[in-house]
Amino acid sequence: MLRLEKRPNPSRFWLYATPVVAVLLTMIAGGLLFAAMGKNPFEVIRTIFWDPIFGQFAFYLRGQLLVKAGPLILIAIGLALGFRAGIWNIGAEGQYIIGAICAAAVGLAAYPTESRWIFPAMVIAGAFGGWAWAMIPAILKTRFNTNEILVSLMLVYVAETIVAKAATGFLKNPEGMGFPGSRNLSTFPATANPELFAGSGLHWGGVTALVMAILAWVLLSRHILGFQIRLAGQAPRAARFNGVNPNRLVMLCMGASGALAGLAGMFEVTGPAGQITIDFGTGYGFTAIIVAFLGRLNPLGIVLAGFIMALTYVGGEMASTNLGLPDAAIQVFQGMLLFFLLGVDMLTNYRIRLRAAGTTVKGAL
């Protein structure tokens, strides 16, 4: 018989081993899934995790890794701040979309004016849009004690409706011959977010993500606000006795995560995506949740986790094109990672005991 036994202290070994074990288990379970679909599991896993870095087209694909990792890291850092404090913003996808819409609206309103101030104004608009969208569940949480998980998640579907209206209505390209979608912002110098180095895939979104990772690490490890965030998540009652205002913390964490998600949307609509479309939402906001937990809610760990998850995007697209693997299979594969991550994470605080006929066997995980 098996039973769970609470550890007196969290296991430092499993704290750091959990992401590695979760990735390995995901590869094994994913391989079984691909084999059941009639695909060579070793070929698929190699295509996803090896070819984008060391394969024939690795030089180009490495740039794509930066393109995919940037928004994931940026959004995940904001989510991690809230998760550390026990504040669960699940609606970053909606904040990402609204940030993109606000930024695109500013850029399109200035079209075809050329000014160096347009792009900074779009950055501010994108961050503000994401912040404002996150403030809806934050205010409802602090004023009416609503569940921020449900409210933020439901607002994603509202944002998807708004972006569809924008692509077919108020932001539609008047010269698009009736096709939905805005003007292409990436082709206009004042609103473009091009690669900083040709072929590198690095644009201002990637730079911002790395800068925010460093700032978030400093905040959590060196600033009193970071201490309050960690204390609120680990011991809410102790945080109140220490003078932490829970409502203020909700507003700060939700606002920060919304602003960073909005920035990610802004950099995406001015760079890789280029325009507002009906299906602008790419799922980055949901995938960033996996990235945050895979990185152990540590900003520097999130950077590594962002690149690992970017591998599944880039490698998944290669597997879909070259091996005929359905896109849904890649999404299931990504979901497995979160499933195993949360499952194995249990071993950080609990050990598995083996018990036979009422006697506890000394061996345990």
pLDDT at 356: 62
Domains contained in the chain, CATH given: 38-325 (1.10.3470)
Query: What are the angstrom distances between the C-alpha of 18 and each of 100, 288, 338, 344?
Result: 34, 18, 11, 6
Encoded tokens for 154: 């439901």
Report, as ranges of residue numbers, the positions in the chain whose pLDDT lies below 70. Answer: 356-365
pLDDT at 275: 93
Q: How far apart are CA 355 and CA 364, in angstroms?
A: 10
pLDDT at 241: 82
pLDDT at 257: 97
Query: What are the angstrom distances between the C-alpha of 268 and each of 79, 232, 273?
Result: 18, 33, 6
Q: Is the dihedral of CA 208, 209, 213, 219 positive or negative?
A: positive
SS3 276: coil
* Cβ-contact 258, 134 below 8 angstroms: yes
Q: Residue 5: CB partners within 8 Å, gap ≥ 6?
A: 350, 351, 352, 353, 364
As a whole number of Å, the end-to-end CA separation of the chain is: 14
Q: DSSP per residue over 206-261, as a string?
A: HHHHHHHHHHHHHHHHHSHHHHHHHHHHH-HHHHHHTT--HHHHHHHHHHHHHHHH
pLDDT at 365: 60
pLDDT at 237: 84
Each residue's pLDDT tens digit, 170-211? 999 988 888 899 999 988 889 999 888 877 788 999 999 999
The model carries a pTM of 0.91
Encoded tokens for 185: 């912002």
